[in-house]
């Protein structure tokens, strides 16, 4: 009799646990479904959003197509002008001389270095502090006398180097501008010419001030 009671207790406990797990799963699925239906997609963020992209945090579709990874084309919608003078762009790495470097790090894919929702360093984008060392480790190990014993995580975090545009510190730029004054003789601001399109302000329309065109 005692064995039968223990057996029934174990069976009932199993079913209670199973029912609890099923109920929790259904509750979780319902919660996720409601989040999608009510467009509260920020609940699904895997981590903190970088400062530069915080404006798009609530609009996943601005960067993502479904659940696919972010593509270079998506990044270039906003950053194409910045990449026009990219020092590490496709033109450089499509040259076979740099094929070995490209095997070390797939730098032609934006998300190789820029990992959104992963807080690595407190900057406008999330980059590993020692990112440059993947290809340039020899510089701090004696290849360049002026950089011997420099910290491997200080290339860009110290404000010296910019991966995409380092013309201001390139040896070619320095040679070309050697001997130039630190500042222009007479610093001036460029003139700005504004041509107003309206002679009088338009009448107020609160309907146009809100998303959807309604108050």
Query: 134-178: per-residue pLDDT in tens?
Result: 888 898 888 888 888 888 888 887 878 888 887 767 666 667 777
- Per-residue pLDDT at 168: 67
pLDDT, greater one: 183 or 93 = 93
pLDDT digits (tens, 9 = 90+) for 85-121: 888 888 888 888 888 888 888 889 988 888 888 765 5
Q: What number is the average pLDDT over the span 24-52? A: 67
pLDDT, greater one: 34 or 201 = 201
- Per-residue pLDDT at 52: 77
Mean pLDDT estimate for the chain = 75
Euclidean distance between CA atoms 52 and 22, whole angstroms: 41
- Per-residue pLDDT at 215: 44
- Per-residue pLDDT at 41: 60
pLDDT, greater one: 112 or 54 = 112
Residues 6+ apart with CB under 8 A from 96: none
- Per-residue pLDDT at 30: 66
Q: Which residues of 174-213 are buried (b: 16+ CB within 10 A; e: fewer)?
A: eeeeeeeeeeeeeeeeeeeeeeeeeeeeeeeeeeeeeeee
Whether the pTM exceeds 0.75: the reply is no
Share of the chain above pLDDT 90, in %: 1
Q: Residue 120 is encoded by which pair of tokens?
A: 């690595």
Burial of 125 from C-beta contacts in 10 A (0-12 / 13-18 / 19+): middle
pLDDT at 197 over 80: no
């Amino acid at each position: 009799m005692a064995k039968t009671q223990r057996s029934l207790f174990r069976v009932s406990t199993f079913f209670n646990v199973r029912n609890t797990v099923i109920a929790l799963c259904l509750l979780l699925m319902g919660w996720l479904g409601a989040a999608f239906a009510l467009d509260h997609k920020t609940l699904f963020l895997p981590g903190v959003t970088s400062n530069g992209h915080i404006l798009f945090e609530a609009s996943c579709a601005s960067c993502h197509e479904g659940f696919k990874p972010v593509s270079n084309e998506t990044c270039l919608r906003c950053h194409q002008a910045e990449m026009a003078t990219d020092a590490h762009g496709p033109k450089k790495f499509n040259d076979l001389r740099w094929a070995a470097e490209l095997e070390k790090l797939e730098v032609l894919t934006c998300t190789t270095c820029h990992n959104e929702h992963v807080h690595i360093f407190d900057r406008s984008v999330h980059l590993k502090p020692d990112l440059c060392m993947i290809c340039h480790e020899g510089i701090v190990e004696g290849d360049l006398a002026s950089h011997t014993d420099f910290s491997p995580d200080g290339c860009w975090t110290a404000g010296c180097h910019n991966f995409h545009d380092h013309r201001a510190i390139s040896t070619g730029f320095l040679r070309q501008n050697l001997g130039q004054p630190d500042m222009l003789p007479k610093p001036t601001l460029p003139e700005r010419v504004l041509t107003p399109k309206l002679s009088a302000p338009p009448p107020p329309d609160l309907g146009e001030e809100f998303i959807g065109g309604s108050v």
